[in-house]
Amino acid sequence: MRLIIPEGYKPLITLKETEKILQMLKDHFESGLAADLRLRRVTAPLFVLKGTGLNDELSGVEQPIVFPIKDMRGQEAEVVQSLAKWKRMMLRDYDIQIGHGIYTDMNALRPDEELDNMHSVYVDQWDWEKAIYPEERTLETLKKAVRKVWDNVKRTEFFIHTFYSNIVPSLAEELTFIHSEQLYEMYPDLTPRERESKFAEKHGAVFIIGIGYDLPDGKPHDRRAPDYDDWSTETEDGYRGLNGDIIVWNEILECPAEITSMGIRVDKTELLTQLEITGHMDQVELLFHRRLLNDELPSSVGGGIGQSRTAMQLLKKAHIGEIQSAIWPGEMVSHCRKSGIQLI
């Protein structure tokens, strides 16, 4: 069982207060995100048809939940794991103009997730996508979007403080940007997780650029599916990748916490490059991939921001189960109850 029990932990607000502030937190964050990035809300699917290429394969090993639909002659559907590719199709299908985008309140299931303080089978995200010009597929465009997301996180942290003064803002004022290759050069003998931990503890909040391309040791910082984020393009500063993660230092658990993953999306050239690198060239016949290769989809930047993970960080909770209702191993529930961690 992977569980951290912080010594002397006591929630700063009650379960009743938590439930009350959660909706206010989410409403505040959504409105800020929409205004800063020029997004409008759309309704998200809970499942998509299998074989369309629309579901997110994440790192490529997670298996989605599959079920047959009786009234469609047993055609199978998959519960979504995220909506990275679906959103990009909606930019075109909803005729969203360049410089504008969409966001959605996404609910997903990831049954292969390893459950701990920050990971749950149930995933709730603000999934967003913004149309950009092809010439805007740059590192600077990515950093500009990342800073807007971070500013909104910071504003929401202060918003919470205005209601509960004992929840004191503690996030870093500025994000530190670093490439995964630079992290490797700094700490070649550490694992990617250990590199994140050491750097996040020092700086408080970081954006690690370039998640997916192999580092000098032949392994990526972390794996990414080949068909949404562009992780293979060489950037103007000589490194690889137009995607990344915001990692913050969690003072309660004393470990790093990823709150969002985002990136410039692949064009058709990088799609083919990354499919070839990962050995998935057979996917070119799937619906999403065909539309991209036929120039039917706009260039875009987008990402997913974990709702429960962000709320957990801002409300200084020790377990994501204090934020969302989910299922946990009996031993974990018992340990949390004895330690004053009240799971919803």
Q: Is 120 a catalytic residue?
A: no
Phi, psi of 229 (to 5 degrees): -75, 145
6 and 253 Cβ atoms separated by less than 8 Å: yes
Query: Among this protein's residues, is 214 annotated catalytic?
Result: no
Active site residue 339: no
Active-site residue flag, 261: yes
Active site residue 282: no
Question: Is-catalytic flag, 258?
Answer: yes
CA gap 107, 338 in Å, rounded: 30
Q: Which of 110, 137, 195, 224 is catalytic?
A: 110
Distance of CA 320 to the CA centre of its chain: 15
Active-site residue, selected from the candidate residues 170, 258, 339, 342:
258
Catalytic position from the list 30, 56, 157, 322: 56
Closest-CA residue to 251 (of 1, 4, 55): 4
| Catalytic one of 125, 180, 197, 313 | 125
Nearest of 138, 222, 140, 150 to residue 180 by alpha carbon? 222
- Supply 239's token pair: 């490194």
Active-site pick, 232, 261, 299, 308: 261
Closest residue by Cα to residue 32 from 142, 164, 169, 159: 159
Give the residue numbers marked as catalytic: 56, 110, 125, 245, 258, 261
